[in-house]
């Protein structure tokens, strides 16, 4: 049994790294706008970016060399498969201190440079852009005429009267009211949330008020993805010499894009007992239901992940695991169920994966 398990692991690792080598040459069709009137079609090395890129890799065809284009040298690019435009902008943003005194300077540092921003709304009057900063936090920018304004929102902790408080600066509310004040019927709620959905609704109402249509609106991904999973593996119980084979089935839920890389799993595992240990014969099956929540790290094809959760029935309910994933479809996991042993599994996810 041990030799079979090692063979499975070796085969998986070989396949894993072979696929990773192949993945490096995977590009998606795209349109690159170098300058007004200078547009070329080709292939873009696309990531599901957790931080807005400062440069992109582009090929004229799959057989030509890769060229790197910084945001300072091109205008925009379009990915038809995702119906998404990214345009280059020179921006300056501030990062804020977390724990500060009541009258302290809140700005920790400021960075500037050219980045590719995701176009959420494109129109003749106003356009909305999304930047994901170095902390993977969303920052929205509004263009109206020649004005290009960051809609500012941040939180910080402050010490007042002997206690710590969390303060929220929602400067974007006043900014929107001033920038869109040419529509007298437009109401911007003081409680407007700093989300793509809420800001899109405001700009849609603004264009309706002006009697115009928006040229491009990015679809808002709010729905989770559901995929069946198959989970073969084996369990080594602490204090036992034998390896117990297992097989599991379940549902994997990929959360909407705003919960970047987060997921949940509901699975049912069967452990098959058919061995002799210290003169005692063990036979039969054990079943465990497990609920897990976890996250992937990074943006490449190969991503580490961790997750934790609960299982039933079990003496100790808690379980935790970690591993490596290929394209969020094939996962090699090490997990300790109820801290009673060490489990190695190979997750295969069926269907289209929600990125």
Could you read off the pLDDT of 170-187 as tens digits, one per residue? 999 999 999 999 998 999
**Which is nearest to 148 in space by CA: 131, 167, 165, 169?**
131
How much is the pLDDT for 348?
A: 93
For 52, the 3-state DSSP assignment is coil
Q: Which CATH architecture has domain 223-349?
A: Beta Barrel (2.40)
Q: Which residues of the chain have pLDDT under 50?
A: 1-25
Longest dimension (CA), the chain: 86
State pLDDT tens for residues 3-33.
444 444 444 444 444 444 333 336 899 999 9
Using DSSP's 3-state secondary structure scheme, residue 30 falls into: strand
CA angle 147–150–151, rounded 5-degree value: 115
Residue 6: phi and psi, rounded to 5, are: -65, -35
Quote the pLDDT of residue 306: 95
- Three-state DSSP class for 299? coil
Residue 257 pLDDT? 65
Helices (H), 107-238: 171-179, 196-210
Q: Residue 23: what pLDDT?
A: 36
Token pair recorded at residue 178: 């001033």
Residue 324 and residue 334: Cα distance in Å, rounded? Answer: 9
Q: What is the pLDDT of residue 81?
A: 84
- Give all strands of the β-sheet with 154-160 in edge-to-edge order: 99-101, 154-160, 163-169
Q: Where are the domains of the chain?
A: 26-217, 223-349
Look up the pTM and report it: 0.63
**184 vs 187: CA distance, rounded Å:** 8
Give the H or E element holding residue 12. Answer: helix 2-23
What pLDDT score does 219 carry?
60
pLDDT recorded at residue 13: 43
User: Which pair of tokens denotes residue 237?
Assistant: 């119980």
Residues paired with residue 92 on neighbouring β-strands, in sequence order: 112
Would you state the pLDDT for residue 272? 84
Q: What confidence tens digit (pLDDT) does each residue in 240-294 have?
A: 777 889 999 999 998 876 666 889 999 999 888 776 776 777 778 889 899 999 9
pLDDT of residue 273: 78
């Amino acid at each position: 049994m041990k030799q079979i398990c090692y063979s499975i692991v070796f085969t998986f690792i070989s396949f894993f790294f072979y696929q990773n080598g192949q993945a490096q040459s995977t590009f998606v069709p795209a349109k690159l706008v170098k300058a007004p009137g200078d547009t070329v079609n080709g292939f873009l090395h696309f990531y599901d970016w957790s931080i807005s890129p400062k440069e992109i890799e582009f090929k004229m065809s799959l057989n030509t060399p890769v060229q790197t284009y910084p945001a300072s040298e091109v205008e925009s690019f379009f990915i038809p498969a995702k119906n998404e435009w990214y345009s280059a902008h020179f921006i300056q943003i501030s990062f804020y201190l977390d724990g500060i005194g009541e009258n302290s300077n809140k700005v920790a540092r400021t960075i500037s440079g050219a980045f590719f921003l995701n176009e959420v709304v494109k129109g003749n009057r106003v356009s909305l852009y999304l930047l994901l900063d170095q902390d993977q936090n969303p920052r929205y920018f509004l263009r109206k005429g020649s004005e290009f304004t960051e809609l500012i929102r941040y939180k910080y902790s402050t010490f007042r009267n002997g206690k710590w408080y969390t303060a929220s600066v929602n400067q974007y509310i006043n900014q929107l009211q001033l920038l869109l004040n040419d529509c007298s019927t437009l109401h911007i709620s003081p409680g407007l949330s700093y989300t793509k959905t809420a800001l899109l609704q405001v700009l849609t109402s603004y264009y309706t008020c002006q009697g115009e249509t928006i040229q491009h609106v990015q679809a808002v991904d709010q729905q989770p993805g559901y995929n069946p999973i198959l989970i073969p593996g084996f369990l080594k119980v602490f204090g036992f010499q034998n390896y117990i084979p297992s097989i599991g089935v379940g549902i994997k839920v990929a959360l909407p894009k705003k919960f970047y890389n987060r997921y949940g799993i509901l699975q049912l595992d069967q452990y098959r007992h058919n061995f002799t240990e210290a003169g005692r014969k063990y036979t039969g099956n054990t079943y465990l239901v497990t609920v897990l929540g976890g996250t992937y790290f990074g943006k490449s094809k190969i991503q580490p992940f961790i997750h934790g959760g609960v299982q039933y029935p079990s003496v100790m309910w808690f379980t935790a695991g970690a591993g490596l994933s290929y394209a969020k479809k094939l996962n090699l996991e090490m997990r300790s169920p109820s801290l009673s042993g060490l489990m190695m599994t190979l997750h295969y996810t069926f269907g289209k994966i929600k990125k």
